[in-house]
Structure 1
Amino acid sequence: MTFYADLPARRTRQILADVGVLLWVVLWVRAGLSVRETILGAMAPALQLETAGESLQGSLGAAAERVGAIPLLGSTVAGPFESAADAAESVRRAGEDLAAFVERTALLTGLATALVPVLLALVPWLVIRVRFARRARALQALLSTGEPLELLALRALATQPVTVLTRVSPTAAHDWRTGRRDVVERLAELELRSAGVDLTARHREGLAGGTGEPLPRGTQ
């Protein structure tokens, strides 16, 4: 599949457009990563809360075990420590949940920051590039199979703006129907050039019916 035009001017524009889209994608991916890192910075207090709760739970749990070993009074004295350890566990879970929430928020916000502008540029670019490639391939297939000039000229009449057609001939459609050779050749060349297909010497000879005479120069 052909992704770039044969004509230098159009190929240069396509390459510049591709580079521009690439830079746009890189810019917004970096912006998304930056946003993610900024939001992740807010996760530090949550991690500290989780660590403090875990440490406090461990200390209170150990204390509850020690006082629980005291004969007769152990279970009574250990009760408050166990309750405090449960509260510390709740603090640890709250810190863990908060950290997970911040992490999810950072990921989703970073993706949204990068993905929306990237898709806004990438989807139209991809549609245009694929449409060009398919059209260029179809026209090149016509050239390689030796289809008559009339078919390419008919495509030009169907797809080219009226203002462009009138520059070829004020009565382009009538000239095509009557088989006016010079107009048919210029319309065919116009259609090929509009798709970025260059008329090489081999194509020119084939289109001119093997006469070797160059076609009249069309619109680039």
Structure 2
Amino acid sequence: MKPYADRLPTAIRQLLTDILVVLWIYLWIRVALWISDTVEKLAVPGQKLESAGAGIADNLADAGGKVGRVPVVGDELTKPFSGAADAARAIADAGQQQQDLVGQLALIIPAIAVAVPMALVLFLWLPLRLRWMRRAGVAAAVRDDPAGRDLLALRALAGRPLSELSRLGPDIAQSWRAGDADAVDALAELELRSLGLRTR
């Protein structure tokens, strides 16, 4: 496979396109990281909620334990503290659940943000680029061989627009069928030029 064209304008265009694609990918990766950081900041209230709930639950449980030592009525006095401690633990659990949800969103949203641009690169740009590299590599390999030049001429007749073919003369197809070397060379040159390649 041939990575870049021989002719300067085509090679510069390909190089600039490749650089832009790399920058495009880098930009979207940076955007995804920024989104992830921003979403993770949403977990701070959940952390505070979990910390406060756990602290309150521990304090209430400790107070309930001390009140429980009071003779005769200790068990009765402990129940409200135990209930309040359970409610504080539920608040702490809610804070933890919020953090878990934010953590999942911090993975999913950036992945979606990167997936669409990457899909454009993988399914639009990359197949076209690889197809050109494959075609140019084969054309470069056969351009010096007379049979290869004939194949390039046939490819030009089959694939180039009529406006380009008519510039080579009104009887270019007939000249090619007759085996005219100048017609074959002109058609091969037309196909090579369309790929950005030079004749040797």
Q: TM-score, normalised by structure 1?
A: 0.81
Q: 1:164 to 1:61 in 2, by over 3 A?
A: same
Equivalent residue for 2:96?
Answer: 96
> Cα 1:188–1:145, aligned 2, differ >3 Å: closer, same or farther?
closer
Residues 123/148 of structure 1: CA separation in 2 closer, same or farther (3 Å cut): closer
Identity of aligned residues (%): 39
**Alignment CA distance shift 1:106-1:148 (3 Å):** closer
Task: Work out whether residues 51 and 92 of structure 1, in 8 Å CA contact, stay in contact via their aligned partners in 2.
Answer: yes
Query: 2:143 touches 2:199 (CA, 8 Å); kept in 1?
Result: no
User: 1:128 corresponds to which residue?
Assistant: 128
Distance apart, 1:94 and its partner CA: 0.5
Matched, 1:15 2:15: yes
Indicate the residue corresponding to 1:43 in structure 2: 43
Preserved contact between residue 43 and residue 102 of structure 2 (Cα < 8 Å):
yes
Contact 1:28 1:114 survives alignment (8 Å): yes
Q: Which residue identity is paired with 1:9? A: P
Residue aligned with 2:33, SS: helix
Query: Which consecutive unaligned segments of at least 5 residues does structure 2 have?
Result: none
Give the distance between the partners of 1:25 and 1:83, measured in 2 at CA.
Answer: 54
Which residue does 2:83 correspond to in 1?
A: 83
Letter of the structure 2 residue corresponding to residue 87 of structure 1: A
Residues 148/13 of structure 1: CA separation in 2 closer, same or farther (3 Å cut): closer
1:188–1:34 Cα change, 3 Å: same
Aligned-pair CA distance for 1:23: 1.9
- Distance (whole Å) between structure 2 residues aligned to residue 25 and residue 65 of structure 1: 59
Q: Per-residue displacement from partner, 1:86-133 (whole Å, max 9, x unpaired)?
A: 111110110111122122223322232333234334532111111111
CA displacement at 1:180 relative to structure 2:
1.7
Task: Write the deviation string for residues 12-55 of structure 1: whole angstroms up to 9, x where unpaired.
Answer: 00001111122222222222222332232222211111111111
Q: 2:130 is matched by which residue type in structure 1?
A: V
- Structure-2 residue corresponding to 1:63: 63
SS at match of 2:39: helix
Question: Is the CA contact (8 Å cut-off) linking 1:36 and 1:110 kept in structure 2?
Answer: yes
Between the aligned partners of 1:72 and 1:172, the Cα distance in structure 2 is 115
Q: Residue 186 of structure 1 aligns with which residue? A: 186
TM-score, with structure 2 as normaliser = 0.88
Task: Evaluate the alpha carbon distance shift between residue 19 and residue 142 of structure 1 in structure 2; reply closer, same or farther with a 3 A threshold.
Answer: same
Give the Å deviation of 1:73: 2.9
Aligned CA distance change for structure 1 residues 139 and 167 (closer, same or farther; 3 Å): same
Q: Which 4+ residue blocks in structure 1 deviate beyond 6 angstroms?
A: none
Higher relative contact order (CA 8 A, sep 6+): 2
Instruction: Say if 1:35 and 1:110, in contact at 8 Å, map to a contact too.
Output: yes
Distance (whole Å) between structure 2 residues aligned to residue 170 and residue 129 of structure 1? 33
Change (3 A) 1:144 1:60: farther
**Distance in structure 2 (CA, Å) of the matches to 1:148 and 1:59:** 87
Cα pair distance change 1:169/1:44, threshold 3 Å: same
SS at match of 2:3: coil
Q: Match of 1:179, as an amino acid?
A: G
CA distance in 2, matches of 1:56, 1:144: 85
